[in-house]
Structure 1
């Protein structure tokens, strides 16, 4: 009952924040909208209003994440920002805001060592295990490494500029970090189907640690790769399910508490390098805020970095 009351208070807070931000945004934009709407048709006018609604939703998400940082030191799937949202009606429009932490995913940029010369063997093994779990050819991992590293020497299953320059629409291997996750589509072997499979589980914007309170099963199963499996063993499907079941009632407040799930995980954490990959909090958050007026929809897709009680947008796109 206590948790339910807290959840209801959290949802009410988010709605209140959304309305407050919307009022401020409306007051600031009313003159501009009035001037522009006189020069545009109904679609143009509604499109501008939808963007305004989406901006209000993004502002509310930012405030909600700041408030969450003040209230706890870990992030779980049982917080009001992380639950499935319903559209909020405001006048003749509605706003739908969703927030997802990026620390639930594997950061592709962290596959490379900081010098850019070679991959981090443990993190590369984790990505390869994810590919296996999703039924994707491991050659994609080699191609990702070649895209990231600072040389032009292709790996066995990879590709460098010599390959990409031979395509009908040629380009060079970046040989640097990904700026956006969409850039992954440029990598050899990442077809549209492969990209859609990978999208829920990989990121290019995170601390590099995986939040075991929010990570999906496929990511949890990948984390034990590259940790001296002969000694430690691997997280299989059942063990990943056990972690998910345990955290529903007992959210982790420290990474070492994963050992409370089973003796196997206690030994794995104590004896292997998996502990270098785990966390219980999140710092990067992916927000999608959609404004809808009469069937006209505009969406703001943004990624914010939370440091302390502040959130700074690192990526912002209007769709």
Structure 2
């Protein structure tokens, strides 16, 4: 009798042990199954994101090429003016429906910028010829900008001269740029931070809203300033008086289509005495443009940014810069 009871207890213990082991095995298998499922979901999501990134890139690329086509269409216009409809405006460049999504051509420095989130977004092209090319700017022109002293202007010229001298002694050719561009030696406006006396505040401004000089400078232009697209700061730096600049801006507000020639500009602005000193620095056409394309699959929710520059000649359009970036998904 005692043997039967002991035997039953032994069998019960064995069954209990088997049950516990079985439960543990089931738990482990459940965890493994959940893990595999989670990994599969993650992989599916990553693949989906990768696919979406590819589609967004192609969408932004399409926006850039469509805009480049518009530039090419107008490249031979005898006059390029900031009042031209194709140059800027929401009708051409805001949330344009294209295939599965939308793209916008925006001007940097507006609210898509990390440093200026509260500035209203502007739509349109950036005309590099509306800026002063740092590779040909003179001392007087540089001093025409806020916070640029004669010492700082001199240091910028010295930096440019030394860099040009060093690059000319190299055996390898300098970076080949499209026809219609000044060939260095300064390749980016950021380089000016290497100049003695230059500060981030002078170049890019302050968080409090004080403007820097970077928006008025370029390294990607023909060297001439388009009098029909340049802003008041650049026009003043080039050499026009405050009265002349105010008169020119008033013409733009009246719906004026731009000066047909540089000679006409000097005549209308009463600047005949300045012509010999300034005429070679000015033009009425633009050859180099910057485009910033934001693309996404819902209006107002871009997931891709492409920044590109083009140089427009009489017979061709060449890309001189191309940079893409995936944006954070909100």
- For structure 1, which runs of at least 5 residues remain unmatched after alignment? 1-36, 112-122, 154-175, 225-234
1:208-223 correspondence runs (5 A): 208-223=223-238
RMSD (CA atoms): 2.6
Structure 1 equivalent of residue 80 of structure 2:
75
Structure 2 equivalent of residue 129 of structure 1:
144
- Counterpart contact for 1:52–1:291, Cα < 8 Å: no
Alpha carbons of 1:293 and 1:182: their partners in 2 closer, same or farther (altered >3 Å)? farther
Query: Residue 220 of structure 2 aligns to a residue in which SS?
Result: coil
Query: Residue 242 of structure 1 aligns to a residue in which SS?
Result: helix
Relative to the length of structure 2, the TM-score reads: 0.64
Structure 1 equivalent of residue 248 of structure 2:
243
Query: Residue 77 of structure 1 aligns to a residue in which SS?
Result: coil
Instruction: Indicate the structure (1 or 2) with the bigger Cα radius of gyration.
Output: 2
CA distance in structure 1 between the partners assigned to 2:287 and 2:152 by the alignment: 27
Give the count of matched residue pairs. 233
- Counterpart contact for 2:130–2:226, Cα < 8 Å: yes
CA distance in structure 2 between the partners assigned to 1:217 and 1:59 by the alignment: 31
- Counterpart contact for 1:50–1:290, Cα < 8 Å: no
CA distance in structure 2 between the partners assigned to 1:79 and 1:192 by the alignment: 34
- Counterpart contact for 2:163–2:185, Cα < 8 Å: no
- For structure 2, which runs of at least 5 residues remain unmatched after alignment? 1-42, 106-123, 166-183, 205-211, 326-330
CA distance in structure 1 between the partners assigned to 2:164 and 2:185 by the alignment: 15
Relative to the length of structure 1, the TM-score reads: 0.66
- Show CA shifts across 1:2-61 (max 9, x none): xxxxxxxxxxxxxxxxxxxxxxxxxxxxxxxxxxx9793443332222211111111011
Structure 2 equivalent of residue 88 of structure 1:
96
Alpha carbons of 1:43 and 1:191: their partners in 2 closer, same or farther (altered >3 Å)? farther
CA distance in structure 2 between the partners assigned to 1:89 and 1:208 by the alignment: 36
- Show CA shifts across 1:281-309 (max 9, x none): 11111111111235352211111111114
Query: Residue 304 of structure 2 aligns to a residue in which SS?
Result: strand
Query: Residue 292 of structure 2 aligns to a residue in which SS?
Result: strand
